[in-house]
């Protein structure tokens, strides 16, 4: 199994373990609608890891930092008699991708010949060094499930605006994150997030803390 898949599998396993922890207590907690602490905004600084090519022109593994702000817009979520809630999350991630060495290579779109019949390309598109820096701006709906007073998980469908290599705008119209929190206190957590924005368009994970106000 490729290392990237192993890392993904390990991270998913951690999430599943996180979700299953303290099953009986969770069963009680998750059924108490609105049981969790209300908050106006959750601020989450984090580190970002990408282990494959991002969408657009970049390539290679990524490493960066980011901040997510999630505003709780509904303490009571979509499902009655369930301790779920909904927020709107907006963030920014600055990620450096190291390039695969097989990135934007350019295409010759017009050529001519010189003496000896040797072709000379006189116009090319999409060329360049493949080290890139991306600015991601994810905009998501965060659907939370408060499993336990110490644990919560969430899914985040949405989209992401990108500034590829800090130069060209791009759009990832469909992204999805799944994540979980370990609550250190009523307003401080450790948060792990995995994404599918980025897969099939390129995988991504973030790990950081969050503070709820």
Quote the CA–CA distance of 192 and 206 in Å, as a whole number.
6
Closest CB to other proteins among residues 24, 113:
113
Is residue 5 near other proteins by the rule CB under 8 A? Answer: no
Is residue 156 near other proteins by the rule CB under 8 A? Answer: no
Is residue 111 near other proteins by the rule CB under 8 A? Answer: yes
Q: Is 17 exposed, middle or buried (0-12, 13-18, 19+ CB in 10 A)?
A: exposed
Closest CB to other proteins among residues 171, 188:
171
Least Å distance, CB 58 to other proteins, is 10
Quote the CA–CA distance of 66 and 205 in Å, as a whole number.
11
> Do the Cβ atoms of 70 and 193 come closer than 8 Å?
no
Helix (H) or strand (E) holding 27: helix 23-30
Q: Which of residues 20-59 bind other proteins (CB under 8 A)?
A: 56-57
Is residue 62 near other proteins by the rule CB under 8 A? Answer: no
Is residue 164 near other proteins by the rule CB under 8 A? Answer: yes
Establish how many alpha carbons lie within 13 A of residue 85's alpha carbon, considering only the half-sphere containing its beta carbon. Answer: 24
Least Å distance, CB 107 to other proteins, is 6
Secondary structure in 3-state letters for 146-211: ECCCCEEEEEEEEEEEEEECCCEEEEEEEEEEEEEEEECCCCEEEEEEEECCHHHHCCCEEEEEEE
Q: Which of residues 166-195 bind other proteins (CB under 8 A)?
A: 167-171, 173
Is residue 128 near other proteins by the rule CB under 8 A? Answer: yes
Helix (H) or strand (E) holding 6: helix 3-20
Q: How many residues bind other proteins (CB under 8 A)?
A: 52
Closest CB to other proteins among residues 12, 121:
121
Closest CB to other proteins among residues 28, 111:
111
Copy the structure tokens of residue 143.
């659907």
Give the interface with other proteins as residue ranges (CB under 8 A).
Answer: 56-57, 73-74, 76, 78, 86, 88, 90, 101-102, 104-108, 111-130, 132, 137, 139, 141, 158-161, 164-165, 167-171, 173
């Amino acid at each position: 199994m490729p290392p990237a898949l192993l890392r993904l599998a390990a991270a998913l396993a951690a999430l599943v373990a996180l979700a299953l922890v303290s099953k009986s207590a969770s069963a009680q907690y998750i059924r108490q609608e609105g049981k969790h602490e209300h908050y106006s905004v959750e601020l989450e600084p984090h580190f970002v890891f990408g282990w494959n090519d991002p969408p657009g022109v970049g390539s290679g593994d990524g490493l960066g930092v980011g901040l997510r702000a999630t505003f709780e817009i509904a303490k009571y979520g979509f499902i009655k008699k369930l301790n779920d809630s909904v927020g709107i999350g907006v963030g920014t991630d600055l990620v450096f991708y190291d390039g695969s060495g097989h990135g934007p290579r350019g295409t010759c779109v017009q050529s001519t010949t010189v003496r000896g019949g040797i072709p000379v390309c006189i116009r090319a598109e999409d060329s360049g060094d493949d080290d890139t820096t991306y600015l991601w701006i994810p905009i998501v709906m965060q659907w939370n499930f408060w499993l336990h007073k110490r644990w919560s998980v969430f899914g985040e469908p949405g989209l992401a605006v990108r500034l590829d290599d800090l130069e060209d705008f791009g759009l990832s119209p469909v992204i999805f994150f799944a994540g979980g929190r370990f609550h250190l206190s009523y307003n401080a957590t450790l948060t792990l997030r995995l994404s599918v924005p980025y897969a099939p368009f390129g995988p991504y994970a973030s790990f950081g803390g969050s503070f709820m106000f």
